[in-house]
Amino acid sequence: MKISELASKTGLKAISESVDKIIEGVYISDMASDIITNAKANVLLITLQTHKTLIAAANLIDVSAIAFVKGKRPGQDVIELADRVGIALYSTEDDTWTLASKLAKLGIQ
């Protein structure tokens, strides 16, 4: 499923414009060291963390998009870095569990 379609079905709000990539799965983590050892390419990363380190880790793995939960929003420097490496950023007021449940109902796990 494309990110744009997924976003409209789950209420994710785009923080930045980016390539409308395909999402093949979901990974939930707040730790960069965990992301580089366990996440896979083309996943949607769900996280609370808004630090630049997360973008550096996600880019290395070729994560498609990042969804910040609980209304978290990264700084402009983080948005610019994500834009530069082609990672789409989204935000939601949902908590991790609620967003993950919505994605599971759509068959994305």
Partner 1 sequence: MGTCNHKWQMTDIIYGYLVVQGCPRCGDRASFFSNEPAAPIEEYMEGDHFWAHLGSSQATKFNLKCTECHEIVHLDDLVGLMMSTCEEPQCYVANIAKSEGKMTSVYVALCSDSTHSSGKCISTKGIDSLNEYFNQNIKTPGKKILVVPCNKCCSIDMCKGIVIADVGLTEIY
CB of 56 to partner 1, least distance (A): 4
Q: Beta strand pairing status for 88-91 and 25-28? A: unpaired
Q: Which is nearer to partner 1, 48 or 98 (CB)?
A: 48
Q: How far is the CB of 49 from partner 1 (least distance, A)?
A: 9
Q: With respect to partner 1, which residue has the nearer C-beta, 32 or 108?
A: 32
- Residue 98 DSSP code: H
Nearer to partner 1, 11 or 19 (CB): 19
Distance between CA atoms of residues 67 and 41, nearest Å? 15
Binding site for partner 1 (CB under 8 A): 21, 30-34, 36-37, 40-42, 51-53, 55-57, 59-62, 81, 84-86
Would residue 42 be called left, alpha or beta, if left means φ above 0 and alpha means ψ between -120 and 50 degrees?
left
Taking a C-beta distance cutoff of 8 angstroms, is the pair 33, 54 a contact?
Answer: no
Q: How far is the CB of 81 from partner 1 (least distance, A)?
A: 8
